[in-house]
Structure 1
Amino acid sequence: MNKNRLICITFVALSALAMSACDDPFQVIEELTFDSSLGIVLSDFTRLGSGVYVKDDVIGSGDLTADGQTAVVEYKGYLADGSSFGSGTFPFVVGSGGTIAGFMIGVFGMRAGGERWIIIPPGLGYGDADQPNIPAGSVLVFNVELCRLDQIGPNPDCGN
């Protein structure tokens, strides 16, 4: 194969790859306008290396989350348009993979009693899979209170 033909094939392949990236169905956090009901000003958040954004409303004074601990959180989940897709109390083992990766990343490093906003890119949420009330490719927004660590069961103080 001559050099010019190889260059041409490479150019066509790279162009096709670039064009397919333009059709990416995933929402991009930095390009979204969040519904005003969420009160999100992205510049107030910290972008983690993973692409997850976090903002602490309350730091908390309890233990710090660590792998292997059971965390019990009170959460409210939203789409960028402000619609709610769920809420409740959710226990999970930190670092176990028992929840979407972005949620685990967002909760890691919180202290018991802390309250945090977490914005999760689609690739660390549900990706290209539809979920009930969550379209494929959606950015997820969570308001989370870390109620306690290492216990499972109802907590009357959680959410107050």
Structure 2
Amino acid sequence: MSSACAFHRIVFFEEVHRPPHPASMPSASTFFMTPLSRRDALLICTAPINLAAFSPASHGRERRVRKSIAIEDYNTTSEGLKYFDIVEGNGPIASRGAVVKVHFDCIYRGVTAVSSRESKLLAGNRIIAQPYEFKVGSPPGKERKREFIDNANGLYSAQAAPKPPPAMYTITEGMRVGGKRTVIVPPGLGYGEKGINEIPPGATFELNLELLEVMQPT
């Protein structure tokens, strides 16, 4: 996974589904085909899995359909980033200088290492899905100095948010609201020689983006 040419990606489309009967529950293999969050990966390592404990009556099930994307199907930016639009979107376009809100997931070898869907609230350990807000084309990390926000989920700050890779600040340009884009991120535009969480130093990984909102440039 050290170079872009080694990629022949499997991209997952998400659909929430609540089975009407226990017989329609996904098989055990379905659960292990999906990228794992850091928390799930730790649970798998430290405790046995009891699939019978999942209750179809109380939890929606997530079905993922595999689609193989050949490396030649990716577009390439002037920076050398390779990307593929899974969903085009039909809302406003994210132009340079616009303030946008996205959800992002950084996936390395099937494990979700960094995600805006796993943000922690201040003064607590509750995890929420908090969209990440930034200005397209701005220097990475500038928005992380903003003040605290007291929203419906509780007290939250960008300083405590998961750190996105530098590639996200430019690769979002041109997306439409509702669009989903997958990106092959090399170390130079990722987490470099330090790495982060499960992404080791000097590693290439997959960045999945969902554009939620575009605001006017300020």
Change (3 A) 1:129 1:114: same
Counterparts of 1:63 and 1:146, CA distance in 2 = 10
Tell me the residue number matched to 2:96: 67
Pairwise CA RMSD of aligned residues?
A: 2.4
1:98-118, CA deviations, whole angstroms, 9 ceiling, x for partnerless residues? 353312222111111111111
The TM-score, its normalising length taken from structure 2, stands at 0.51
Counterparts of 2:93 and 2:214, CA distance in 1 = 9
CA contact 1:51–1:120 (8 Å) conserved in 2: no
Counterparts of 2:204 and 2:189, CA distance in 1 = 9
Tell me the residue number matched to 1:84: 112
CA contact 2:195–2:203 (8 Å) conserved in 1: no
The TM-score, its normalising length taken from structure 1, stands at 0.67
Tell me the residue number matched to 2:85: 56
Tell me the residue number matched to 2:3: 28
SS in 1 for 2:167: helix
Amino acid at match of 1:91: E
Change (3 A) 1:71 1:29: same
Identity %: 29
Higher helix share: 1
Measure how far apart 1:59 and its partner are: 1.1
Q: Is 1:111 aligned with 2:140?
A: no
The one of 131, 136, 140 equivalent to 2:205 is 140
Change (3 A) 1:35 1:61: closer
CA contact 1:47–1:54 (8 Å) conserved in 2: yes
